[in-house]
Amino acid sequence: MTITRRNVLLGATAAAALAPIAARAQTSEVVIGVTYPMSGANAQIGVDAQHAYATATDIINNKHDFDLPLAKDAGLSGLGGAKIRLVFADHQGDPQKGRAEAERLITQEKVCAIIGSYQSSVAVTISQTCERYQIPFVSADNSSPSLHTRGLKFFFRAAPHDEMFTKAMFDFYDALKKKGTKIETLALFHEDTIFGTDSANAQIKLANERGYKIVADIKYRSNSPSLSAEVQQLKAANADVLMPSSYTTDGIMLVKTMAELGYKPKAIVAQAAGFSEKALYDAVGDKLEGVITRGSFSLDLAAKRPMVGKINDMFKAKSGKDLNDNTSREFMGLIVLADGINRAKSTDGEKIRAALAATEIPGEQTIMPWKRVKFDELGQNNDADPVLLQYIGGKFVTISPPQGAVAEAVWPMK
Amino acid sequence: MDTDFANRRRRDLIVAFCLAAIAAVVPLFVKDVYVQNIMVLTLMYGALSQSWNILSGYCGQISLGHALYFGLGAYTTTILFTKFGVLPWFGMIGGGLISAVIAMALGYPCFRLRGHYFAIATIVIAEIALLLIQNWEWAGAALGITIPMSSDSWLKFQFARSKLPYFYFALGLVCVAWFVTWWLEDSKWGYWWRAVKDNPEAAESLGVVVFNSKMGAAAVSAFLTAVGGAFYAQFVSYIDPESVMGFHFSLLMALPAVLGGIGTLWGPMLGAVILIPVTELTRSFIGGSGRGVDLIVYGGLIIAISLARPQGLVSLFTPKRKEATR
Amino acid sequence: MGLLYGLIAVGLALIFGLMDVVNFAHGEFLMLAMYASFFLFAFFAIDPLLAAPLVAAALFVFGAVVYLLIVRFAVRAKANTGMVQIFSTFGLAIVMRGVAQFFFTPDYRSVTHPWLGGKTISIGGIFLPQPQLIGAAVAMAAFGGLYFFINRTDFGRALEATREDAGAVALVGIDKNRVFALGWGLGAALVGLAGAIMSIFFYIYPDVGASFALIAYVTVALGGFGSVFGAFAGGIIVGLVEATTALILPPSLKSVGIYAVYLLVVFVRPRGLFGSM
């Protein structure tokens, strides 16, 4: 009795698992795996990412008059016009599930590459799995510097990591200082996750190197029910610059608590994340006039490169939002990956890897303010220059670096 | 009656042996990695749930903090291996022993607590441990620890693509956990626990011995859970505090036993065999929509089973005997 | 802040403490209340402060329905009542999160520009945010009301008697289910009140309840089951301990203080500070 039930159950499991394989098997398709948190606390990120990838897929698979790789013709010319198809998987922010989903995508859906994954901890296990199966993993929006230094051959990241972002902030401070603005003390406010820790480590390192004094280093538990004790300490430290590394939820809480406790920092320079999310500005935007955040994307680019505006419109039609720091990186990540597959003229993992390693896309052919896309031997693109954006009058303007700036920074913030 | 009981126990042993033998052959036919992965997880949760069952089911001390021991096991092996080069096999035993000692140290004050007070104390202790590790730089803090990749090796218990070694290890763990439970059922301890569970006051006459037996249960339960944690660390080859010590893990460990039949020999495994594949499949095939349908299905299933079969699904198979022993 | 924890915990104190039923979906009740308050604001421009009674009423109905549909059966279970309660309400929590994500999307919401948003009173350099002050006042009123209710009214006595011995009260003609359904409704209504106040200054998303649930359990248990005053005191202690811990330890460890105090208290007094069971 027990035995037969068990067997039936296993059989049913196997059948359910095998079904998608039978349904597949068209050669004119290139399948790419996409893993994001689609449920749980960060589900919103996953849903937004779906729209960003859908926009990129539309541009790759259909004819568009953009100066982007693969936009002008339909499908991948290197593979006889094959279309790309995305398979989404939910990892719920859990490294184990990320690994299991990556394995499923590779062995069942036969994807030729995986792109993802928002949380850096999940990127660790996904990229390891990809390495074991010898297929490329493109990290679209993970910013942890520890990811690319593990010596993985199949890991690629076109976007900047936290150390590059942080360097941009300190370059900006140095420039302001030269002009006579007083910036001496910094207060760090970061969550106790991989993102917060990496970001703070980079900030501490650079502050020491360049002679800034850290007067408060507040590490807090993410999704805390209350941040009043933390904000009290920030207020007491009263640094020249407050540097938060927080996701949306804690970002909202931080700003609200600061207002309640009457703390107005002279300037806020944020490590994006929550501070580039629309939800945060919807909630507390009026209190954030003059906040500065790092970013890898700026809509100001649309003035110089009209396609940026058009692509933003395409994305907005799907999602109801403008492209932001995350979604723009996701969009660009897929374009870079597809370009690699196209030049590899194959869906073989090793060939795609070789093609990606030889990537050379000039900055003008991206939607980003980057110099170019070219990977170093660790799979990191060191020419992805971050920008600093200031929130003024309800939208972001680029204030740094000088070559991309459209306005002078307002300092101190109001 | 006595011979009946002896017969049942002999039959349980034979059935278990047959099931284990069948399970051992399955992966030779089912080669799909994804399905194998689900099988490994099912076995792992079966084993964890069985260990939880020893303390919470048989002994009646509802622990909702078993993630503590799971995390301790995972962290001990990983740290010993990455920092001191100690092979995971020794780390596993070490983690188990550490967990067992800690379980006894915590049991000493905690076993005085009753009901909800005890359950909340276990949650809170596990949360404290989680927060401490999350803030402990040397142990990787929030960054977690990655076990460096190496070529396939039994010594380091690492295999790049093959799931079979993990599968057999998990199967072995299930068998050990099951056998320990089977053996305890008929031991002196087993009788005391049943007495304590049914009537704590009356059993107070047993006093000190019962307290000691509870400590024993906690130690055994923690040891096995920690070995499970060590296994998980090797299996995933990356650990961070949230993913091995989170509160949801404590619930996930208890869930199969509760749904399958708490305080029963077969309950935890039965619960795991049903629950884990459902969890994985709903996430993989409908979770990608980002609309939370997988959560609704999963939660609904839990409500339905726990209400429809409060004594556990195992009662479906043994209706008559259940009433006889109750 | 302590009183606010108290406010969240008071509904739980009623359900958990007085009826001896574990509700693992408590955080999700709070989430629902916050969404209710948000939608009332977004569609009908009703300020959360005014919406609070409406939300409480809605939650009352919801709580009673949950009792009648799910918890009634869990309490009746012959075997493992405790575990069945824990896991049926845990299942409910997961379903509620899923449903919230399905209908409300995972976007973060917040009530923009409520009357009291961001307003603070400053007394001698100490800033007291108005929403929290209101929350504290509501919490005190709720506790007072509940205390009176339990100890002075027939229904309160019926509730207590029903928990003690359902069989005996049935003999004097009290229907256990009706009493408990009303009790659940009331508990949920209090959560509704808390949710409406919270929505003034907290963001809202499907998983928001999780951050508060554990603290609420600890608060109730710290004060002791079966004691309304205990939950009130528990809330204040939790708030104070949290603030003090954050001064001594890194703020990311501030919950450790709360947990440690709980352990200390129950090791010394196994029934919490004012518990009767």
Q: Is B295–A221 a contact, with Cβ atoms under 8 angstroms apart?
A: no
What per-residue confidence (pLDDT) applies to A22? Answer: 39
What per-residue confidence (pLDDT) applies to B320? Answer: 45
Please write the tens of the pLDDT for every residue from B284-309.
Answer: 777 656 566 777 888 888 888 888 77
Residues of B in contact with C106 (CB under 8 A): 290, 292
A16 touches chain B (CB under 8 A): yes
Q: Is B236–A47 a contact, with Cβ atoms under 8 angstroms apart?
A: no
Residues of A in contact with B235 (CB under 8 A): 96
**A412 preceded by a cis bond (ω within 30 of 0):** yes
Tokens of B45: 């949760």
ipTM for the whole predicted complex goes beyond 0.85: no
For the ranges A149-163, B245-259, C147-161, the one whose mean pLDDT is highest: A149-163
Who among A218, A253, A259 is closest to C203 (CB)?
Answer: A253
Per-residue pLDDT, averaged over B144-157, amounts to 76
B243 touches chain A (CB under 8 A): yes
B116 touches chain C (CB under 8 A): yes
Q: In Å, what is the CA distance from A156 to each residue of A90, A273, B125?
A: 21, 21, 41
What is the C-alpha to C-alpha distance for residues B313 and B318, in angstroms, rounded to an integer? Answer: 10
Nearest chain B residue to A96, by CA: B236
Nearest chain A CA: its distance from B287 CA (Å): 6
Q: Are A271 and A165 in contact (CB under 8 A)?
A: yes
Q: Is B120–C218 a contact, with Cβ atoms under 8 angstroms apart?
A: yes
Question: How far is C-alpha A312 from the chain's CA centre?
Answer: 17
Who among A47, A225, A260 is closest to C129 (CB)?
Answer: A260
Nearest chain C CA: its distance from B51 CA (Å): 17
Please write the tens of the pLDDT for every residue from B8-23.
Answer: 888 888 888 888 888 8
Q: Is B117–C98 a contact, with Cβ atoms under 8 angstroms apart?
A: no
Nearest chain A CA: its distance from C66 CA (Å): 23
Q: Is A94–B238 a contact, with Cβ atoms under 8 angstroms apart?
A: no
Q: Which of residues 186-245 of B touch C (CB under 8 A)?
A: none
Query: How many residues are present in chain A?
Result: 414
Q: Which of residues 2-31 of B touch C (CB under 8 A)?
A: none
What per-residue confidence (pLDDT) applies to C210? Answer: 79
**Nearest 10 degrees: Cα torsion A48, A54, A60, A64:** -90
Q: Parse chain B into domains and list their residue ranges.
A: 2-246
DSSP B56: I
Quote the percentage of chain B above a pLDDT of 90. Answer: 17
Q: Is C127–A261 a contact, with Cβ atoms under 8 angstroms apart?
A: yes
Nearest chain C CA: its distance from A218 CA (Å): 7
* Closest by CA position to B274, among listed B286, B293, B285, B258: B258
Give me the residues of chain A with pLDDT under 50, please.
1-26
Q: Is A17–B32 a contact, with Cβ atoms under 8 angstroms apart?
A: yes
For CA atoms B91, B93, B96, B101, give the dihedral sign.
negative
A137 φψ region: left (φ > 0), alpha (ψ -120 to 50), beta (else): beta
For CA atoms B92, B95, B98, B104, give the dihedral sign.
negative
Nearest chain B CA: its distance from A186 CA (Å): 22
What per-residue confidence (pLDDT) applies to A206? Answer: 92
Q: Are B180 and B220 in contact (CB under 8 A)?
A: yes
What is the C-alpha to C-alpha distance for residues B24 and B322, in angstroms, rounded to an integer? Answer: 30
Q: Which of residues 260-299 of A touch B (CB under 8 A)?
A: none
pTM comes to 0.84
pLDDT for residue B325 is more than 60: no
CATH topology of domain B2-246: ABC transporter involved in vitamin B12 uptake, BtuC (1.10.3470)
| Residue pointed to by tokens 């509501």 | C138
C215 touches chain A (CB under 8 A): yes
Please write the tens of the pLDDT for every residue from C162-185.
Answer: 776 666 766 676 777 788 888 888
Strands of the A29-36 sheet, one edge to the other: A83-90, A29-36, A113-116, A137-139, A155-156
User: Which of B303, B309, B322, B323 is best to mutate for the C interface (most C CBs within 10 A)?
Assistant: B303
Q: Which of B274-278, C3-7, C116-120 has the lowest mean pLDDT?
A: C116-120
| Contacts for B194 with CB less than 8 Å, ≥ 6 apart | B58
Q: Is B262–C80 a contact, with Cβ atoms under 8 angstroms apart?
A: yes
